[in-house]
Homo-oligomer: A and B are copies of this chain.
Amino acid sequence: MYSINTRQLIITKKLRTKVHNQTKNTENNRKMHQTILEELLKLNDDPRVHGVYLHLPPAALTNRVLNSLKPEKDVDGLLKDLLKCFCFCTGFQQLTEHRYIFLHRAVGSLVLSSLHSLFSFIVRQNVVRSCTRWLQEQQYKPWRLRSLKLQPLTPVPSDLQISRAQTAKPVNHLAEEIGLLPEELEVYGRSKAKVRLSLLERLNSQPDGKYVLVAGVTPTPLGEGKSTVTIGLVQALSAHLNLNSFACLRQPSQGPTFGIKAANNLVAAAIDARMLHEATQSDKALFSRLVPSVNGVRRFSPIQISRLRRLGIIKSDPSSLSPEEVNSFVRLDLDPEKITWHRVVDTNDRFLRKITIGQASTEKGLTRETGFDIAVASEIMAILALADSMEDMKSRLGRMVVGTSRSGTPVTAEDLGVSGALAVLMKDAIKPTLMQTLEGTPVFVHAGPFANIAHGNSSVLADKLALKLVGEDGFVVTEAGFGADIGMEKFFNIKCRASGLRPNAVVLVATIRALKMHGGGPSVSAGAPLPTEYISENLNLVSGGCQSNLKKQIQNAQQFGVPVVVAINVFRTDTPAEIDLVCQLAKECGAFDAVPCHHWMQGGRGAVELAQAVKEATSKPSYFQFLYDLQMPIVEKIRTIAKRIYGADDIDVSAEAQRKIDYYHEQGYSTLPICMAKTHLSLSHLPERKGAPTGFVLPIRDVRASVGAGFIYPLVGTMSTMPGLPTRACFYDIDIDPITEEISGLF
């Protein structure tokens, strides 16, 4: 009936054996106690052990033993019952260890055996009771969230000041409030914790909560506040409407990125080292090094067996390979001109955009041109965000294509022999990081793939964990990068396909500023003061923006069958007439609802209206459908996105792009979804064309593939994967007080 019993019994048996072996030598009771104590403490601390059911020789049952086992692991309560009965029978109320042993020797097994029938009854009852208790503990727990109060100030202070004025709950308190078990948490410092994926197994039968995507209109270069709306919305839901909710955000790049860089650069180092070794060694020398004789025995490692299988060689004895088979096994024969894998670094280091490596004499003239990207642009980051288990991540890492051989075969990370090591380097990164909003509501921060050459969404695993945790009536609010034409389209066609999750609503963030820009306002650029159109009422421009960009982005969401709530991220300079106009026009354009949000100033209280609209929208049935079928030819998939989402008349595929498309088709990659690398500043490929441009043909300059992440990415323009540093970088202002450790100079 209770599957847990098997595990308990194994452990019990192990313990009994150990103790039994010790007690044969009855001379040293202390030694026996020590052994038992050690074992109990291990069992206490072992998260895989859910309960301990002890059968021990009577002499082993001292007070210290009794007090060592954690109450929550004490499956049968036998020890305490036994001692109680014993005390009752012997008249002793307080037993010290010494007294107990003395007593045991004096009274011996007589008393114990007379109590035997009573014990066996208690034991049976307790086993049933404790298994029931364990099963209950594993069930979904209703939240007991204690929200933190905000005291909004006017004028609104800096982010840094606001954040400092609030004291976060210890993360283990937060975890307990939202029903996480202690063994599912790996605390990192006071306010962050990694959450183990075993949660998905425990809450497997628990229905998911509502799944809400926050997307946006086409933004100005200043950004329109999708992340703040995401946070405001969950604060409103959890702290003001008492509905369970979780925000899932992407991780900023200079953060606790764990193994990503090391994993990415291990692949790069392995590529170049392998080319060197192949260039300087014979087949025989390579083979004897790759499959060395250890104590006279040569053996393939599992990863080498995988490579042999891919080569069609079904052998496992190294000595049985023919010279041709050895040749194809030892030579990846990478074409230095066709290596697509870049190194990464977590700093804006523009001088690494294009470099020549291998110039030291030790590298024997094997120089080649390559480059570094910023860490988040790594395919490994996209994999981290799309994987839905450790196993899935591992196989995606193995499938990553790093280049092609001289004969045109794709060479993968598994061919290089690094895929297991990559998974090891990523084993902590795969667990989402639990943090909290200013109002003490839970947030997962996890992964941060680029939104152009990758899909720009927070991780599948964070969303999945959160959907279980919030429960059936709760909400998970997740964010997609850039405008809805990019982030939302990729969320639906790439991320939802990978995860199998279905969204219940889209929140489309708009600002009066962005709408005015789309309505024909002057250009907006970072650093320059805003033109007056943007800081005084102009209903004309607002209306123009609503009728063009906002309307098109609403329709884009509707093509997927999902209801849209427009959230106006209100600025101080916005007028009531402007806000009312957007609400009215958005609804006319097909939005389920449209509401102003004041979370920037008021926290969750300022987004209560949005929360109510979202609650209402998700209570309606949604009819989600993908935009295209994966079986369509690559070109047709690209054309579908260009025409239906961007409003293009057609696409124009360059010769280079067509060559790549044919190659990917040949290699069997044509059923992958499409991840468009297009500017986020326009629905078209031309950043200066605002509103909802029409009458343009989208050029497809080049096409690349992230086979491990699982998408093909057409390049519409030039995408920078390594930012630069300005003349006066922000580091000039950043400092730390050596005594208080307070950091200054952040925003």
Contacts and interface: CB of A to CB of B under 8 A. Distances in A.
B353 A421 contact: no
Contact of A269 (B262, B348, B728): B348
A273 B351 contact: yes
Interface stretch (A96-104, A285-293, A643-651): A285-293
A363 interface: yes
Given A423-B736, A424-B735, A390 B741 contact: yes
A91 interface: no
Contact of A167 (B42, B732, B743, B745): B42
B369 A351 contact: no
Interface stretch (A131-139, A183-191, A683-691): A183-191
Nearest to A746: B424
Contacts of A355: 355-359
Contacts of A281: 727
Q: How often does this chain occur in the complex, in copies?
A: 2
Contacts of A168: 45
A665 interface: no
A27 interface: no
Contacts of A273: 349-351, 724-725, 729
A272 B188 contact: no
Given A724-B273, A732-B301, A353 B346 contact: no
A301 B149 contact: no
A303 B731 CA distance: 10
Contacts of A189: 186-188, 194
Interface string A340-382: 0001011111111111111110110010010100000000000
A532 interface: no
Nearest to A395: B738
Given A189-B186, A345-B343, A738-B391, A270 B359 contact: no
Contacts of A179: none
A146 B290 CA distance: 46
A360 B354 contact: yes
A585 interface: no
Given A427-B741, A734-B421, A356 B353 contact: no
A350 B371 contact: no
A148 interface: yes
Interface in A701-747: 724-729, 731-736, 738-739, 741, 743, 745
Interface of A: 34-35, 38, 41-42, 45-46, 146, 148-149, 167-170, 186-190, 194, 254, 261-262, 265-266, 268-270, 272-273, 276-277, 281, 286, 289-292, 301-304, 343, 345-360, 362-363, 366, 369, 371, 389-391, 394, 417-418, 420-421, 423-424, 427, 724-729, 731-736, 738-739, 741, 743, 745
Given A41-B167, A359-B369, 14 more contacts: A45-B170, A187-B188, A273-B351, A273-B724, A276-B350, A289-B727, A289-B728, A290-B727, A355-B358, A356-B356, A360-B371, A389-B738, A421-B745, A423-B735
30 contacts: A34-B149, A35-B149, A45-B168, A46-B167, A268-B347, A269-B351, A269-B725, A270-B729, A270-B731, A272-B350, A276-B350, A286-B727, A289-B726, A290-B732, A291-B728, A301-B732, A352-B357, A353-B362, A354-B360, A355-B355, A355-B359, A356-B356, A359-B369, A390-B736, A391-B738, A420-B733, A420-B734, A421-B731, A424-B735, A427-B743
The 3 closest A-B CB pairs, nearest first, are A420-B735, A421-B731, A391-B738
